[in-house]
Amino acid sequence: MIAATQTDTSFRKQFPANLLSNVLLFCANLVIGIWLVPYYIRHLGVGAYGLIPLATSFTQYVALFTMALSGGTSRFLTIDLQQGDLERANRTFNTAFWGLAGLSLFLVPFLIGLSWFAPWLFRVPPDQIAASRWLFAGVSLTFLVTTLFATLDVSTYAFNRLDYRNLTQLSNLFVRTACLVLLFALFSSSLASVALSMLIGAIAATAVSWHFWRKLTPSLSFKLSLFDMSRLADLMGMGGWMVVNHIGYLLFLQIDLIVVNRLFGPVAGGEYASVLQWNALIRSMAGVLSGVLGPMLMIRYAQNRLDELERLSSLSVKLLGLALALPIGLACGFSRPLLSLWLGPGFARLAPLMQIMLFHLVINLSILPLFNINVCYNKIRLPGVVTLGMGALNLFLAVKLAYVGNLGFYGVALAGGIVLSLKNAIFTPWYAAKIQGISPRCYFAAILPGFLFSIALVVSAFMVDILLSISSWASLIGIGLSLVFICGILIWTLALNPSERSLLQSLLHPGGDPA
C-alpha cells in the first residue's frame, strides 16, 4: 500500500493539527480580507473595486466546463488510495489530469473572448475599460493554472493531511498579497496589477502543492498512456450531476454580483461587494470547521464504518451551527459600528444589507457537513436538480424584489437568504438522512441550537450598541469578546450534553478518538 504511514495516521493525532492549520488559514484570510477591501477602495475607487469580485466570481461559470471531470476526482481517488489499489489510483489520477489539460486548452479561446468583451458584458467605469480586460485575462489565466493542477491536492485530502493543503493556500494568500502591495508601490495602482498578483500567487501555490503531492503519493506519476476511457466514464457520471448542482450553486451565490452590476451600475456593485466580503469570511470560517471533517467522513465511508459516519456527521452539524452563531450574531448586532469603523461613516447605512446577507448563514452553513454525505454515497442527482431549480427561483426572485419591488440591492440579498434557507433547512437534512436510512429528526434537531443562540446574540449585541454607542475598534473588540465569552459558557453548559462535551474534548486532544 502506498504511503502506508499516511494511510494509518491516527485521527486522534491528525485532527488537532488539521483544525489548527484551518484556524490559522481562516485568521489569515480574515485579517487580509478585512484589510484589503478598504485598501482596494482607497487605491482604485468603489466602482473599480467592484469589478474584482465580479471577475473572480465569473470564473465559477467557466468552471462548469471542467466540473464534469474534476467533480468526482476526490471521491474516486481517495477510495483508490485508501484501498491500496495503486494501478487504479494511477489511472484515476492520469485520467483526471490529462482530461483537464485538454479541457483547459479548449477553454483558452473562450477566455480570451470573455476578457476582450468584458466591458460590454458588464457595466464598467469609463476609465477602466482597458484595465478591466487585463483583469479578466489575468483572472482567467489564474483559473486555468489552478484547475489544471487541482488534482495534486487530492493526495492531501485522501490521507487527511489538511495541514499540508492549508499551507498551500497560505502560500497563495501571502504571495498574492505581497505582490499586490509591491506592484501598487512600484507601479500605478491598477486592476492589471491585481490580476498579475493573483497569477503569481497561484503559481507559488502550485509549487507547494507539487511538493506535498510527491511526498504523500510518490507512486503516482504523469503518464498519458494511463488515461482510461472507462475511468473517465466513472468520473463524468458523478461529475455530470455535480455540474447541475454547481449551476444551482452559481444561481444562489454568484449571480447576485452580476444582477447588481447590470441593474444598478459599478458603484452599487462595489458597495454590495464590500459588504459581501463579510459573507465570504463567514463562509470561510464554516469551511475551516466543516472542511476538517470532510476527509474523516470520506475515509470512514471507504472503510465501511457507517455508524461512526452517522454519529460524526450529526455532531458536526450541531457544533458548526453553534460555532457560527458567535460571529454571525456579533456581525449582525454590531453591523452599524462595524461598517462605520471599517469603511467609514458613509457605509453605516448599509447595516441592514449586512444583516440580510449574514443572518441566514447560521442555518445554511451549519449543514455543510451533510454535503459530504451525498458525495460519500454518490447520491448527488436529486440534490443537483433541487439546487438548480431553487437557484433559478433565486434569480427570478432577486430581479423581482430588486427591480419590480423597488428594494434595490437589498432585494437581491433578501432573495438569496429566503430561497437558500428553504432548501437547506428542509431538503438538505432530509435527503442526507434518507440516503443513510436514518430519521431526519437528528439533523433537524442539530440545526436548532445554533439558530436560537444566534438570535440571542444578535439581540444582545444590538442592545449593547444602543446603550453604549460604540465608536472605536477597542470598544467594539472588547465588548465583542466579552459577549463571546459569556455565550461560549452558555453553549458549553446548556447546548451540549455530557457525551457531546466528552466527544468534543476527544477531538481536540491528541489522545482522543473522534469516533
Burial zone of 34 (CB within 10 Å; 0-12 exposed, 13-18 middle, 19+ buried):
middle
Q: How far apart are the first and last CA of the chain?
A: 24
Residue 9 has pLDDT above 70, yes or no: no
Give kind and range of the element (H or E) at residue 451: helix 441-468
Q: b/e map of 333-368 (b: 16 or more CB within 10 Å)? A: bbbbbbbbbbbeeebbebbebbbbbbbbbbbbbbbb
Give kind and range of the element (H or E) at residue 312: helix 306-333
Q: How far apart are CA 420 and CA 367, in angstroms?
A: 12
pLDDT score, position 160: 78
Q: How far apart are CA 64 and CA 187, in angstroms?
A: 35
Residue 182 has pLDDT above 90, yes or no: yes
With beta carbons less than 8 A apart as the criterion, state whether 49 and 270 touch.
yes
With beta carbons less than 8 A apart as the criterion, state whether 81 and 88 touch.
no
Fill in the DSSP letter of residue 425.
I
pLDDT score, position 80: 84
Give kind and range of the element (H or E) at residue 3: none
Q: How far apart are CA 462 and CA 329, in angstroms?
A: 9
Amino acid code (one letter) for 78: T
What is the residue-wise DSSP string for 329-367?
Answer: HHHHHTHHHHHHHHH-GGGGGGHHHHHHHHHTHHHHTTT
Q: What is the mean pLDDT of residues 400-422?
A: 89
Alpha-carbon distances, residue 173 vs 24, 30, 33, 149, 198 (angstroms): 12, 11, 10, 17, 9
Burial zone of 178 (CB within 10 Å; 0-12 exposed, 13-18 middle, 19+ buried):
middle
Residue 506 has pLDDT above 50, yes or no: yes
pLDDT score, position 134: 93
pLDDT score, position 238: 63
Express each pLDDT in 418-431 by its tens digit.
Answer: 999 999 999 999 99
Residue 345 has pLDDT above 50, yes or no: yes
Evaluate the CA torsion angle 85, 102, 62, 137 in order and state its sign.
Answer: positive
Cell numbers describing residue 104 = 483547459
> What residue has cell string 474534548?
505
> What residue has cell string 479578466?
136
With beta carbons less than 8 A apart as the criterion, state whether 118 and 244 touch.
no
Burial zone of 137 (CB within 10 Å; 0-12 exposed, 13-18 middle, 19+ buried):
buried
With beta carbons less than 8 A apart as the criterion, state whether 19 and 292 touch.
yes
Residue 450 has pLDDT above 90, yes or no: yes
Express each pLDDT in 29-50 by its tens digit.
Answer: 889 988 999 999 999 999 899 9
Return the higher-pLDDT residue of 155 and 298: 155
pLDDT score, position 198: 94
Weakest-pLDDT range from 114-128, 291-305, 363-377, 490-504: 291-305
Average pLDDT of the chain, as a whole number: 85
With beta carbons less than 8 A apart as the criterion, state whether 512 and 12 touch.
yes
Residues 6 or more apart whose CB falls under 8 angstroms from that of 45 comprise 125, 270
Q: What is the mean pLDDT of residues 461-467?
A: 92
